[in-house]
Structure 1
Amino acid sequence: MLDLLDRIRTGAAEWDGNVQLDKKAHKRMSDIRKIDEKGQKRRVKVPLTRIISFSFGGFVAVALALVLYLSVLANFKNTFSLLNDKAILITQAIDRQLRDHFASVEHAVVDVKPFFDNGSISFDNVDEALEKMSLAVASNSRINVLVATDLNDDNFGVFKGPNGKLWPFKRQIPPGGERTYMLPRMTADSGPTWGALLHSDVGQFANISVPLVVDGEMIGTLTAASSLKALGEAIHSLDEGEDSTTFIIANGDDVVVHSDMKVFQTGEVTDKTLPVARSGLGDPVLAAMNTGDRLESFQKAAELGIEVSRIETADDEFIMMRVVIPGYSDEPWIIGQYFRGVTISREVRRLTGSAAVGIGALIIAVLIAIWMGRRVARPLKALAKQSERVGSLALDEVEPLPRSRVQELDQVAVAFNSMVDGLKAMNTYVPRSLFAKLMRLGGKDAAGAREAELTILFTDIVGFTALSEHM
């Protein structure tokens, strides 16, 4: 009986020693891990969350930023290309309207000239000449005056009134016209020539003359005149609404056509009658025409001779486009149109708005990328934490990994949880000291076979089972 008790004490002591060895092994494993961590402190470690967030988010940010930059740049170029085209189209439309208007006037004198040259119309038979000239004026809606002048400055012709009635006249011109009426210098070989604008009590007229030649000798001139009032009405149709004004400047600096003579865009009202000097008209935009800042963005228009400038007034900003053309008088004309700067500002705001939307989308995409990175890295972070507990043999502290909707992560979680369950079951029968030793040796050394001489003792205690049942 005493011998049995001694053996029990000895077994308890050995079990106590194994526990102590197990604690020492655990402590040694902790020390080894700390040494490994100290040895790896020099290595830079970046959390997986940051890697995924910044890599994926950075890629999305760069891609969206590139697309945004290219789209804004394309929109910017397209916008100013359209504005260039608009400036070109408006200016060319005014120029085309002028040419169409005066081309018929030029054709009239060119078509009537041969009748004088071949004697069908003669200065000697004025009444017959007036009948034929009346037919020419009546058939051309853009001619207001057709007059023939001999070398002695005696003249006769036909005047069309505002109501369309024809008034033949001899040795006279429209009332008040004598102040400005002056024929251009011509020879027998001269072609159609535009003269100085004629200002009379009934309006202002552009006029074109051709030489009348009989047997090679110049016998006089034939002049056709067209009222600029009709031209102004045609030009007014080119306005794009209340926010645009079309104008023509002739005689150096006189405004001869203005589409908004009643009320200017700036709100000023005028009672002046055209032609009026640009500075005395009362239109602050035209008055500041030569002080505007030229817009270099309209390079395409500039190549065609169209100048686009920004003009600031007391209360608003305007964009003016103008071009100098060989005028239908003795001096070049300036034709153009100006409109409120809000037209371009609206386009710029549209570009700014699209850029702001793009930047907002970029920020949202980066935030989503960071969120997705964290969502993906969270299970891996939990795996690393629980794996660390497994490595320290703290199996009781290991928490099961949650299932995931991501197939690969779900497979990892299932496999890890099964592994932990297997280790816990094995730890029931295998001492921790053996676990620690095997982990210390490593997989290759722990699994390697070796030869050894062993002494095995099989013993049995008589009556121990019955004794233990009653203890």
Structure 2
Amino acid sequence: MAEHAPRYRSFRITFLLITVFGGLTALAVGLVLVLSAWSGLSSTRSLMREQALLTLDSFTHSIRQHLAPASNLIEYLRNQVERGNLDLDDREALTLSLGGMLAAAPHLSGLIIWKPDHRGLRVGLDKAGNTVFERIDNRRNEQFRNFVEKLPLTRGIVWGPPLRAAGNTYLYAYSALMREGKLLGVATASISSTGLSSYLDQLNTEYQLTPFVIYGRDHILAHPFLLTARSRKLFDGTSPLLKLSQLEDQTLSRMVKAPRVNQGHDRFDVHNISQGGGASLVISRVTHDYGAVPWRIGIYGPRQLIAAEMSKLRHSLLIGLFLLVLAVLLAVLLARRIAAPIKAFAKAATGIGHMDLERIPPLPSSHIRELNDQASAFNQMLAGLKQFETYIPKRLVERIISEGGDRAARSKSAELTIMFTDIFGFTTLSEKLPPAETAAMLNAHFELINQCIEQSGGTLDKYIGDAAMAFWGAPEQMADHARRAALTALDIAEQLARMPQSPAWPELRVKIALHTGPVIVGNIGARTRTNYTIIGDSVNICSRIEGLSNRFDDGGPAVILMSDDTARRIGEGFAMHPVGEFHLKGRDGPVRLWRLTGRAGES
């Protein structure tokens, strides 16, 4: 039994290299892409939060600036009255004190000072910018009397609930006017809802976003829609404000029911609203600075407009994915390029294992130093093996390789069929030819002999001058070794008869002897120099039989003699006849010989 190395699960080198190179490339580039995407996403989200916060802060600040003149005016008036610097009945003093402030805030609807007796004074500006006064008597106007009476008396500035009057909705700030603990009146400064909406509409044009102010949960306080004629027709007198559901744009009404997108860590709320016309992003915050009912100040617009940075990030990710695929493909191509010479080496090594040296091409050079050194060393080894192959039997080497050791060459006893060949009159022929021509003639002759022996599975043992010695039955065991040897002898004769003759060489004729018997076959020799050969009396008998061939030379291309031991083993299909019994040197009894003349049926 041949000794084999332990078998492990094996993989193709191309698969391994593609897996390693492609996998590592994909892992490295993928990790970079994921980290970059995560960092980019975090940065983009942070920038978007900051941008949203800045935009919302800008809108909130603008609204505060728009409403501030009302509270500032009330606070100034309250302080002046409380300190005794201003008489509410002195129009000239009121004009000097309030005229400049009203002129600086033309969007104020005006200032009204209510006396405890429900009479009031409206202070405003005419179209020319002059301060005008209007007396108001609401003692018989129950609606306004109730309005004034319900105003909480406080020393601070208070924003009251929206008020609908004269076809418009007003936002107003008010405060009690006190002097030495005595109530002198109540001052109110108002700003119209349409005025605030107009101001927000200007911001809408600047930012390309829609600003809004929601009063409470579901009433609209300021919105560009309130500037349209359609909105005025929707007021029914029951409420100073329209409901969100009455807006033509349903974004805000949907926002009330939509969940928040952000998790409450920001200083504003984000709602993602999807509707038939597309998706909108709403950014808003709640403020309690304008009365008991909270206001929600915000902006909204198309999601693609607000989330443009996310689109840039997606494009960057797509480019990153493309580069990832490209890097993996390049890694695969590189892996295949590296694997190609390794596969060629493996294929060539397999060919060496089968001793198919003639069909193994030299390995190409490589730009990779180690692979190039491997190819160079392999090509040198291949050239050496091709030379070495001519010195030892090819089948012996194949058998040793297949059995995984030297068991095939160990010496043993076996019954083999032996062949000796010799050229008729070689000594005379060699004397007539130059040494080079003699060597060329022998090489051509032995090439023919060797081919015939190898084709039948025989082993060429050695060349002895112009003679050749071969045997059948080792290293490969074969039951028909005698028949194979006989067929080879006939093949040699036929090939010699058809061999074209060189003008410099005479016609070559051979003597062939066959004998079957026991021999010792295997490695014979010193530890550092052995020959795979056969020894024994059977070898001597075959050599003696070849020496008798001259007696039967009839001028033909070959004289084939074989012992009776061989003749009895070759089987049917041969033309042969006995030529007698002969006493051979070293043998006690006679040996019966047969002459093989051809195949059965041949003339």
Q: Report the TM-score range of the alignment, normalised by the length of the smaller protein.
A: 0.7 to 0.9
- Name the residue aligned to 1:155: 120
Q: Distance in 2 between matches of 1:422 and 1:125?
A: 127
Structure 2 unmatched ranges of 5 or more: 236-240, 407-424, 433-505, 507-603
3-state secondary structure, aligned to 2:85: coil
1:80 to 31, 42, 45: 45
Q: What secondary structure does 1:239 align onto?
A: helix
CA shift at 1:132, angstroms?
3.9
Name 2:303's counterpart in structure 1.
Answer: 341
Deviation at 1:60, TM superposition (A): 0.8
| Alpha-carbon offset, residue 169 of structure 1 | 1.1
Tell me which residue corresponds to 2:443.
Answer: none
Q: Which amino acid aligns with 2:39?
A: A
Is the deviation greater in 219-228 or in 128-137? 128-137
Distance 1:379 1:163, change over 3 A: farther
Q: 1:246 aligns with which of 199, 206, 211?
A: 211
Pair 1:288 & 2:254 matched:
yes
Q: 1:311 to 1:418 in 2, by over 3 A?
A: closer
In 2 relative to 1, CA 394–333 (structure 1 residues): closer, same or farther, beyond 3 Å?
Answer: closer
RMSD: 4.0
Task: Determine which of 74, 79, 86 is the counterpart of 1:114.
Answer: 79
Q: How far apart are residue 378 of structure 1 and its match?
A: 1.5
Q: Which residue of 1 aligns with 2:156?
A: 191
Q: Which amino acid aligns with 1:293?
A: P
3-state secondary structure, aligned to 2:174: strand
Relative to structure 1, is the Cα distance of residues 319 and 180 closer, same or farther in structure 2, using a 3 angstrom cutoff? Answer: farther
Deviation at 1:307, TM superposition (A): 2.6
Matched, 1:386 2:386: no
Aligned counterparts of 1:139 and 1:154: Cα–Cα separation in 2: 27
Residue of structure 1 in register with 2:369 after alignment: 407
Question: Residue type matched to 1:100 in 2?
Answer: Q
Decide whether the 8 Å contact of 2:216 with 2:296 is kept in 1. Answer: no
Shift of 1:231: 2.9
More helix by share: 1
Matches of 1:117 and 1:362, distance apart in 2: 75
Give the number of the structure whose alpha-carbon radius of gyration is greater.
2
The amino acid across from 1:289 in the alignment is M
The 2-side partners of 1:284 and 1:47 are apart by 64
State the 1:59 CA deviation.
Answer: 0.8
Q: In structure 2, do the counterparts of structure 1 residues 411 and 284 end up closer, same or farther at CA, with 3 Å as the change threshold?
A: same
1:318 alignment partner in structure 2: 280
Greater than 6 Å deviation, 4+ residue runs: 437-444
Query: Would you say 1:64 and 2:25 are equivalent positions?
Result: no
In structure 1, the residue corresponding to 2:117 is in which secondary structure?
Answer: coil
Question: Aligned residue for 2:99?
Answer: 134
Structure-1 residue corresponding to 2:335: 373
Secondary structure, counterpart of 1:337 in structure 2: strand
Q: Contact 2:159–2:291 (CA<8 Å) still a contact in 1?
A: yes
CA-to-partner distance for each residue in 1:66-121, whole Å, 9 max, x for gaps? 22222222333333333333433333222222222233322222223333234333
Q: Which amino acid aligns with 2:365?
A: R
**CA distance in structure 1 between the partners assigned to 2:28 and 2:306 by the alignment:** 30
Larger proportion of strand: 2
The answer for unaligned runs of 5 or more in structure 1 is 1-31, 445-462
- Cα distance in 2 for partners of 1:124, 1:104 equals 23
Q: Which residue of 1 aligns with 2:598?
A: none
Determine the structure 2 residue equivalent to 1:206.
171
| Cα contact 1:184–1:194 (8 A) shared by 2 | no
AA aligned opposite 2:258: G
Q: What residue in structure 1 maps to residue 515 of structure 2?
A: none
Aligned counterpart in structure 1 of residue 183 of structure 2, from 218, 228, 239: 218
Partner AA of 1:371 in structure 2: L
Aligned to 2:222: 257
Q: How many residues in Structure 1 have an aligned counterpart in Structure 2?
A: 408
Q: Deviations over 1:212-238 (max 9, x none)?
A: 222232222233233344433332343
Q: Which residue of structure 2 lines up, in the alignment, with residue 234 of structure 1?
A: 199
C-alpha separation in 2, matches of 1:195 and 1:318: 32
When normalised by structure 2's length, the TM-score is 0.58
- Give per-residue Cα distances to partners, 1:287-329, cap 9 Å, x unaligned: 333222321x35433xx2x332233334333222232212535
- Tell me the equivalent position of 1:448: none
After superposition, the Cα gap between the structure-2 partners of 1:314 and 1:241, relative to the gap in structure 1 and judged at 3 Å, is farther
Letter paired with 1:337 = I
What amino acid is aligned across from residue 338 of structure 1 in structure 2? Y
Correspondence for 2:556: none
TM-aligned CA distance change 1:179 to 1:161, over 3 Å: farther
Alpha carbons 2:197, 2:226 under 8 Å: kept: no
Residue 322 of structure 2 aligns with which residue?
360
Cα deviation for residue 343 of structure 1 reads 3.6
Residue type of the alignment partner of 1:407: R
